Structure 1
Amino acid sequence: MSRKAPPRPSFAPRNWGGWVAASLLWLLGWLPRPVGRALVWPVGPLAHALAGRRRQIAERNLQRCFPDWSADQRARVTRGTFDSVARMIAEMAWCWSGPMSRIRRISSVYGLEHLRAAEAQGKGVLLVTGHFTCLEIGGRILLDHADFGGVYRPLKSPVMEWYQTRGRLRYADFMVSKRNARQAVKILRGGGTVWYAPDQDFGPAQSGFAPFFGIQTASLLATQRLPAMTGCAVVPMFPRFVRGTGRYEVHVLPALENYPGEDPATDLARINALIESWVRQCPEQYWWIHRRFKTRPPGEPGFYD
């Protein structure tokens, strides 16, 4: 568990790329919001044009998840996904180095009473969300109203890992590597609140299969095991960017009742259904460029072949 950033990496040549990226993010965080958005906007169309493999993954995911859509609809959401990823760069910069006052002016939180009610039970709280492009700023907004930390996947670049962790610990209580699940258990047993996004494919060893958009999907068992081990409440929260107003919303939903149940597969399906319902509201803000359906049940052909 991290309560402080790792030591600052050296300026050795192997780290120069990371230092350039971190410096640009720092600068972007302090520029006026309209300027920052204008600077990152070209990244979306450019990545859509050049990142052929990621574009194909997004197109395949949308084709299977929304079979009733026309080709034009899928193409529009694919382009929108890359635009959302570009906007995410500015959002990360605002969170990690910019002043919080800018974010407060353009954000709203709904359903905070549900988190308060779960905390009042005196047990831990598992905040469950999905990999939406505005998850970083969504977490930052909610942390203005509650104390918690998150489970995350460390970055390969030592400079960016240092910069990301340092930036997040400006506002988060702690950061827990996904490789250190025992720390999350300890925090939950101690009555703490842990943010967790389980909707990624980490292979069959950590997963069970449950439907997601009608597709049997490798779904992380931690969302069922953590509350079973700790007795914590499971509270869904979902962020979104409202294009028409330029504002960000964080919606906190009531704690799941009778969770976990007796059947892990049913529990996984409940979590997937929650995430799916939110994806349907803002599909272009979901992380479609991830190979969410890479792991297949025995006997099924490859999803992305």
Structure 2
Amino acid sequence: MFLREYRPIGHRVACFALMLFGPLQAGCPLDKFGLFLIVALLRVLSVLPYSFVARFGSALGTTLYRLPSRRKHIVLVNLRLCFPAKSALEHEQLGRAHFQHVVRSYLERGIQWFGSAKSIDKIVQIESEIDLDDKNAPPTIFMGFHFVGIEVGCMRYSTHLPVASLYTRMSNAPMCDLARRQRGRFGAEMIERATSARKVVGLLRSGTPVMLAADMDQGIDNSVFVPFFGVEACTLTSISRLAKLGRARVVPFVTEVLPDFRGYKLTIFKPLSDYPSSSETVDARRMNEFLETQILRFPEQYYWVHRRFKHRPVGVAGVY
């Protein structure tokens, strides 16, 4: 199998299904044969009807939720922390719906990574509060958030307009190279987050918009603790700093999954006013507050499988 060491069956299946198409985590190694199978599967999925792939992914997510797994535990911990007023049953229902969306989004990467620009345009509609064709637009940072549709939204934008996008390197190098290559195949310039600052500033000042998301716990470096649904969360300050250096406006965007397997909607909002401010902490808090308003619209679509509260303030116990 793809896991070289023994794991309980629930962990093995969930690890393979949930991590295979997303950021590979420690404990889920992937060899060349496994990567070959992933590519083969995604190519097959890319030519199947979108509605079939979406429905199958949703059904598979329901099945995987029934299995014990580390990711299920993380999802439920996050939901309990962020929605303490909800009952245990509501947390379970929301967790199940989230698994449906996550697994579905992984299978839909067949279309995203190997489908044509036309096939992506067909499933993603754009609604923008700014003029995307404005040739005189100021330097722009598109501030994204990790909803399950973030990747297809970024790719939809790149099918028609120039853009650069930041990515975090995966632990599996071949998978990372595949993801970077396929995500950028319509012309988006892919920039590794760890070496991005000078490059991003140069792109912004030259007029190329940059898409990045800073809503995940990447460690305490260049981060501050600010509330996220009332819980102190380690939050990156990179958008605030890059906006200052690049003299850029910050434009939030969100890609939501539409009901009835109708695809996605990429919503591009107006630029945030007075952002960046003189305080990175204030900016981080504002980013989280904006994100909270969007999560409340469709909470099952946010990326709860991530350990959002991995790092804790000094003296505060871990939650996972």
Instruction: Give your verdict on TM over 0.5.
Output: yes
Deviation at 1:107, TM superposition (A): 2.6
Amino acid aligned to 1:30? V
Change (3 A) 1:286 1:198: same
| 1:212 aligned onto 2:266 | no
Partner Cα distance (1:263, 1:115) in 2: 29
Pairwise mapping of residues 123-272 of structure 1 onto structure 2 (< 5 A)?
A: 123-181=138-196, 182-244=198-260, 246-272=262-288
| 1:37 aligned onto 2:46 | no
In structure 1, the partner of 2:112 is: 95
Deviation at 1:267, TM superposition (A): 0.7
Aligned Cα root-mean-square deviation (Å): 1.9
- Which of 100, 120, 145 lines up with 2:136 in the alignment? 120
Partner secondary structure for residue 224 of structure 2:
strand
Q: Compare 273-282 and 97-106 and name the one that shifted more.
A: 97-106
Partner Cα distance (1:128, 1:248) in 2: 18
Partner Cα distance (1:85, 1:51) in 2: 16
Amino acid aligned to 1:297? P
Change (3 A) 1:14 1:56: closer
Partner Cα distance (1:51, 1:220) in 2: 31
Change (3 A) 1:110 1:34: closer
Partner Cα distance (2:220, 2:120) in 1: 39
Partner Cα distance (2:221, 2:245) in 1: 19
Partner Cα distance (1:114, 1:212) in 2: 31
- Which of 281, 295, 301 lines up with 2:311 in the alignment? 295
Deviation at 1:248, TM superposition (A): 1.0
Amino acid aligned to 2:229? F
In structure 1, the partner of 2:8 is: none
Change (3 A) 1:264 1:38: closer
CA contact (8 A) 1:30 1:98 kept: yes
Q: Percent identity?
A: 29
Partner Cα distance (1:201, 1:226) in 2: 18
In structure 1, the partner of 2:295 is: 279
Number of aligned residue pairs:
290
Partner Cα distance (2:131, 2:90) in 1: 35
- Which of 56, 66, 91 lines up with 1:49 in the alignment? 66
| 1:58 aligned onto 2:75 | yes
1:41-91: CA deviations, max 9, x gaps?
443123323352111111111111111112221111100111011111233
Partner secondary structure for residue 232 of structure 2:
strand
Amino acid aligned to 2:262? G
CA contact (8 A) 1:91 1:136 kept: no
Amino acid aligned to 1:226? L
Change (3 A) 1:273 1:180: same
Partner secondary structure for residue 176 of structure 1:
strand
Deviation at 1:38, TM superposition (A): 4.3
Deviation at 1:301, TM superposition (A): 1.5
Structure 1 ranges of 4+ moved more than 6 A: none
